[in-house]
Amino acid sequence: MKLLIIGDIIGKPGREATREMIRKIKREQEIDLVIANGENMSHGIGMSKKNFDEMREAGVDFFTSGNHILKKPDIFPEMSKKEVRVIRPANFPPGNPGKGYEVLEVGGKKLLIINLIGRVYMHHSYDCPFRKADEILAEFSKTKLDGILVDFHAEATSEKNALKHYLDGRVAALWGTHTHVPTADLDLTKKGMAYITDLGMVGPTDSIIGDAKESIIESYLKQIPFKLDVASGRCVFNAVIIELIGSHSCKSAHFIQRFIED
């Protein structure tokens, strides 16, 4: 089974680039499932129901998310459906809308997709992602699964790398999101787990991690609050393609970076 896993989609430019690239990659590769992190899809912060529907029609089968997923309340009903197609971090405190993992059936195979959020340099007191992963894996320990996948939405590379070693041999793939900057450490471990510290983003290149430069630079210079606006122009598309061979292992993992002119 071959999966296309896409980094954080940033606003309208990211949505348009994602739509274009999914079409091209599906023509080139035999992709069985498309997963994307969608927490920045709507004006750079959050995911609206309208943009969720737009990207589902474009070919994204399933969405993970992160710290901004609760910014657009009209997505909450979609997060609470019986057959969920968008999840939020599982280690959010109890009582939040939605769920942090889901089992998908794809072509007769069962995949467990887990979303976690980091704690280092984040601005909220989330539950422990390591212990939450243990809880979820224990819940499914007697379930026959064809793949276990984890999106770890975190700031610190060390925290992501630690979770890599903690879950190696227990999940098939672990990828990081949130920083919008791709890392050059895509790895297939000896135990067969596909890993990358951060996928990067789908968004404008002439930007600061997808957003317009001017107000952010001014904020650094003057130490004042600033308003985020999604940038425009040429976009980068960052993703990986993995090929699953079991619940805890992959056959291959390839990084994709392509540029889409405005």
Active site residues: 68
C-alpha to C-alpha distance for 231 and 205, rounded to whole angstroms:
8
C-alpha to C-alpha distance for 31 and 240, rounded to whole angstroms:
12
Sign of the C-alpha dihedral computed for residues 67, 82, 202 and 154 taken in this order: positive
